[in-house]
Amino acid sequence: MRSLRRAISAAIACATFFALLPLVMASDVAPADASQVACGYWLNGVDVSNYQPSINWSQVSHSVAAAYIEEGDGSWSSPTFAGQKAGAAAAGLPWGAYFFAEPSANVTTATNDAFVFVSHGGASGVLPPVLDTETSNGLSAAQVAAWDAGWIAEVQSLSHRPVMIYTGAYPWAYSSLNSFPLWIAAYPAGYTPVQSACGLPLPSTFGWSSWEGWQFTSSATIPGISGNVDKSVFEPSFFETFVGATVTPGGVVYGPGSIGPAVTVIQKMLSTAGVYHGPIDGNYSNDLYVSVQTWQTKLGEVPDGFWGPATAAATSALLNSLAAIVPLPKPTISAGQRGTPVWNLQHALNVARAGSAKKLWPVAPTHGYYLASTVKVVKAFDNVCPGVHGWPGLHWLPRDSNCLKFILALEHKTGVVAP
């Protein structure tokens, strides 16, 4: 991953967060091979660096949906970064930047490197900035973790952007950075050229509960880029959060034995709905099977325990029935702001807690100021919605709004209306 980086491929269509789940009019039937059915649901991706100095971005744009580009490696800045990010943007590709960490015992270098990264536009892409931590430079795990934490803190302070971690099975990563979204590097096929993650054994996530991205090979080919490149798959909800679009596959059914990010989406949604209380680990366990039955009963569907097009369509219909019982706050809103957007946020949180969510977060003030009292309420709300990333309480992000919409839809179904 150090020399070659990622971008992302697949057709994407605008959708709400929960439209990430398969929507096709068909009955739910157990698939023949549930364990690998999710592979067609992932988005493919590739990362690039100065090792790919000449890229035909127009050609790349026909097979990828976004690009990750190297900004630098330690104190070195990539001479191709500016041109590559401009080329990706001109081709209409959402992009993000990554930085290869060269940790030292002097944590001040982390702050300096982070400043250069942000000043070069490393945090200005649509996708979140990435810290690539895969070398110790002879330091202890604790020293590497301290350096990484310093870089992350400075980038977030300067840019107000959440950071994603790219890493492998390194102790400084999975023991100290697992509160951040994960992009895991694991090559089941070694360096044998492969073009698809379908059929490959899923990687271990170590201290994380799930991954947003999985770099499964460094020996793929992408039209428009010469030579072998790294290729990854990404969870669709990752793009929903930052790009606002995703894919809607057809005819996919999930049940006991299914694994992968699609199952993670179902777990997060049903956890938010209050019917699933197990781990968010991408494994369609018996507990999830029972939870799906409970959810199907709430929807008035046949409780067969399989999540397929019929259940997904009924869930989507529930969300779409929300109409406008309350104005939803438009992200991103941050602590320190004031005005109508903040008032809408405070009001919507209070409407949502009027029903079964009453004790899950405190009453929000309704004065239109995003002060400490509102930070406390939003932080408590973040805890209710599994998978919400960023700085809990300090920012109201797209995923927060999607979760709130879902909760309001449930309350609307049971008779709760806006005051």
Residues 230 and 128 in one domain: yes
Lowest mean pLDDT among 125-134, 253-262, 285-294: 253-262
pLDDT grade for 24, boundaries at 50, 70 and 90: very low
In a domain, 313, yes or no: no
Q: Is 315 exposed, middle or buried (0-12, 13-18, 19+ CB in 10 A)?
A: buried
Whether 405 has a pLDDT exceeding 50, the answer reads: yes
pLDDT grade for 418, boundaries at 50, 70 and 90: very low
Contacts of 201 (CB under 8 A, 6+ apart): 188
Among the listed residues 304, 309, 310, 369, the one whose alpha carbon sits nearest the alpha carbon of residue 335: 369
Q: In terms of residue numbers, what domain contains 342?
A: 333-413
For residue 332, say if its preceding peptide bond is cis, omega within 30 degrees of 0: yes
pLDDT grade for 276, boundaries at 50, 70 and 90: confident
Could you say which of 204, 223, 246 is where a domain stops? 246
Higher pLDDT, 90 or 115: 115
Whether 175 has a pLDDT exceeding 70, the answer reads: yes
pLDDT of residue 244: 54
Could you say which of 216, 246, 276 is where a domain stops? 246
Q: What percent of the chain has pLDDT over 90?
A: 33
Higher pLDDT, 10 or 341: 341
Eight-state DSSP code of residue 391: S
Whether 57 has a pLDDT exceeding 70, the answer reads: yes
Can you give the CATH number for the domain in which 96 is found?
A: 3.20.20.80
**In 15-59, which ranges are E strands?**
43-45, 47-48
In a domain, 409, yes or no: yes
pLDDT of residue 356: 61
In a domain, 228, yes or no: yes
Give the integer Cα–Cα distance in Å for 189 and 201.
Answer: 9
In a domain, 45, yes or no: yes
Residues 379 and 236 in one domain: no
Residue 161 · residue 123 · CB < 8 Å: yes
In a domain, 138, yes or no: yes
Within 10 A of 188 (CB to CB), how many other CB atoms are there? Answer: 14
pLDDT of residue 293: 92
Residues 70 and 166 in one domain: yes
Residues 195 and 337 in one domain: no
Higher pLDDT, 406 or 289: 289
Contacts of 64 (CB under 8 A, 6+ apart): 7, 8, 9, 44, 45, 46, 93, 222
Residues 90 and 234 in one domain: yes
User: Count of domains in the chain?
Assistant: 2
pLDDT of residue 182: 92
In a domain, 298, yes or no: no
In a domain, 350, yes or no: yes
Can you give the CATH number for the domain in which 362 is found?
A: 1.10.101.10
Could you say which of 200, 215, 246 is where a domain stops? 246
Among the listed residues 152, 153, 159, 96, the one whose alpha carbon sits nearest the alpha carbon of residue 129: 96
Whether 381 has a pLDDT exceeding 50, the answer reads: yes
Residues 233 and 337 in one domain: no
pLDDT of residue 89: 86
Give the integer Cα–Cα distance in Å for 301 and 304.
Answer: 9
Q: What percent of the chain has pLDDT over 70?
A: 76
Higher pLDDT, 369 or 207: 369
In a domain, 257, yes or no: no
Mean pLDDT of 214-233: 90
